[in-house]
């Protein structure tokens, strides 16, 4: 699928720097399974149906004949389209007239066409859902706070009879608070679109949490939020919790599910990693491409200690690719040390700059060193990982920061894995196969 916006990419040259990696030998690897407590719902679809039927009778009866907008965010979610279809079908069964709208700030190039196309990649489209998907960047100013801060709402959603907030709840990538990424953020930035995101991020991250509460409270006084559907993702990339939340319990349940989401975060369990290789970063994985709650790398100097305490000591990070769903938006690459040749030539700078300027996250857009290939990037990281014997580097490879159940570790990591009940080696040692261009794929 071609992303419907102008793309600005560059063609980078390959550089002659072989002497920088001379003598480096990439180690043998083993597959390792990390085990996390399993809290997956056995039937998330059935859970949603059950929760919807438990709504107050008056809430259900009042939906008849009403146009109801449902938020659809940019983040990936297990069973995303199936859960959204259950919600749409149930609303139609209750005689409502639902539609879905992209609830995003600067994502997908901050264009109506781009955001609709972004949802379509998840199967969120009119043909599958059987309801309209109405995408606009136009907003209505629904009010202001006492200090003059504006509160925005997507024009289509504001003109409807009510809104249902549909979102997953997860730890934020820039700050810590009782409310982070979840229902409140879906109001403030999702419903506020690009204009709301720009205004909100302009206040800075130090006051982000309290401002979420202030804006959400004012929004709920102006806009009819019928109820909310909140999910928490599990470490095994499934659904750990799903709740349909009446508006009177909105703040209470968002905070409780945020606490659960922090408990459900996957982790890299090794104490020290010399080189972490991340196959892909992307906007559907994390707002910062790769999650600082996993890597410990954040652009905010004032918050570095809080995030580093969640992760192993990691000396060097290498990124190899950008997910297809991100359409070249490599935001977050600035938190890496080295990227691949594939990565730099795929990056759409217009999309990255729009996203990072809106979020006031300039460091996320900084381009690291790049290797001439995957192999070159990995060897560069090993050669300059602060070791006197770089060929003994503890190397770990992950798919992305969401998928951490099965990882690859160099044999030098075995001493840290031996005897652990939460990590198991599940393969014999092997060497990576590089293609004719010295890439892993």
* Inter-residue contact 74 to 283 (CB < 8 Å): yes
Q: Where are the domains of the chain?
A: 18-36+266-425, 44-263
Rg (C-alpha) for the chain, rounded Å, is 22
**Element containing residue 190 per DSSP (H, E):** none
SS (H, E, C) 7-33: CCCCCCCCCCCHHHHCCCCCCCEEEEE
* Inter-residue contact 166 to 77 (CB < 8 Å): no
Residues 6+ apart with CB under 8 A from 372: 14, 15, 17, 341, 438
Place of tokens 């700050």: 175
**How far from 369 is each of 338, 366, 385, 437, CA to CA, in Å?**
5, 10, 14, 19
44-263 CATH pick, 3.40.50.300, 3.30.70.260, 3.40.50.11440, 3.40.50.150:
3.40.50.11440
Q: Which two tokens stand for residue 203?
A: 């206040």
In tens, the pLDDT along 19-62 reads 678 899 999 999 999 999 878 999 999 999 999 999 999 999 99
Can you give the pLDDT at residue 323?
Answer: 95
Can you give the pLDDT at residue 3?
Answer: 47
What are the mean pLDDT values of the chain's consecutive 10-residue runs (441 residues total)? 54 77 95 91 97 96 98 91 98 98 86 93 96 97 92 97 97 85 93 90 83 94 97 93 97 96 93 98 90 87 71 96 93 96 94 86 92 96 93 98 96 97 98 98 97
Can you give the pLDDT at residue 441?
Answer: 97
């Amino acid at each position: 699928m071609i992303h419907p916006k102008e793309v600005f990419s560059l063609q980078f040259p390959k550089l002659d720097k072989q002497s920088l990696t001379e003598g480096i030998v990439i180690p043998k690897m083993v597959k390792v399974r990390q085990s996390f407590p399993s809290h997956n719902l056995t039937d998330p679809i059935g859970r949603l149906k059950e929760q919807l039927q438990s709504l107050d009778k008056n809430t259900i009866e009042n939906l008849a004949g009403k146009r109801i907008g449902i938020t659809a965010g940019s983040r990936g979610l297990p069973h995303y389209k199936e859960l959204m279809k259950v919600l749409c079908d149930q609303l139609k069964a209750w005689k409502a007239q639902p539609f879905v709208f992209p609830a995003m700030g600067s994502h997908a190039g901050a264009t109506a066409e781009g955001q609709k196309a972004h949802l379509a990649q998840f199967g969120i489209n009119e043909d599958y859902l059987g309801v309209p998907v109405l995408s606009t960047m136009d907003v209505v100013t629904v009010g202001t706070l006492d200090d003059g801060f504006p509160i925005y709402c997507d024009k289509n959603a504001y003109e409807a009879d009510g809104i249902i907030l549909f979102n997953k709840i997860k730890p934020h990538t820039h700050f810590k608070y009782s409310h982070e990424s979840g229902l409140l953020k879906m109001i403030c930035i999702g419903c506020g679109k690009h204009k709301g995101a720009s205004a909100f991020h302009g206040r800075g991250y130090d006051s982000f949490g309290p401002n979420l509460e202030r804006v959400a409270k004012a929004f709920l006084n102006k806009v009819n939020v019928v109820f909310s559907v909140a999910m928490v993702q599990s470490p095994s990339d499934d659904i750990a919790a799903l709740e349909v939340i009446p508006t009177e319990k909105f703040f209470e349940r968002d905070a409780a599910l945020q606490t659960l989401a922090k408990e459900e975060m996957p982790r890299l369990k090794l104490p020290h990693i010399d080189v972490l290789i991340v196959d892909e970063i992307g906007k559907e994985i994390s707002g910062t491409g790769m999650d600082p709650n996993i890597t410990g790398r954040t652009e905010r100097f004032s918050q570095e200690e809080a995030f580093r305490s969640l992760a192993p000591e990691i000396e060097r990070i290498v990124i190899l690719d950008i997910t297809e769903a991100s359409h070249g938006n490599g935001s977050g690459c600035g938190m890496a040390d080295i990227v691949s040749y594939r990565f730099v030539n795929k990056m759409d700078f217009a999309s990255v700059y729009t996203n990072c300027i809106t979020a006031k996250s300039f460091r996320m857009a900084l381009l690291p060193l790049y290797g001439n290939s995957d192999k070159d990037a990995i060897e560069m990281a090993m050669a300059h990982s602060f070791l006197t014997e770089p060929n003994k580097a503890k190397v770990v490879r992950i798919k992305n920061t969401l998928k951490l159940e099965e990882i690859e570790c160099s044999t030098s990591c075995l001493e840290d894995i031996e005897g652990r009940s939460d990590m198991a080696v599940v393969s014999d040692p092997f060497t990576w196969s590089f293609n004719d261009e010295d890439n892993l794929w």
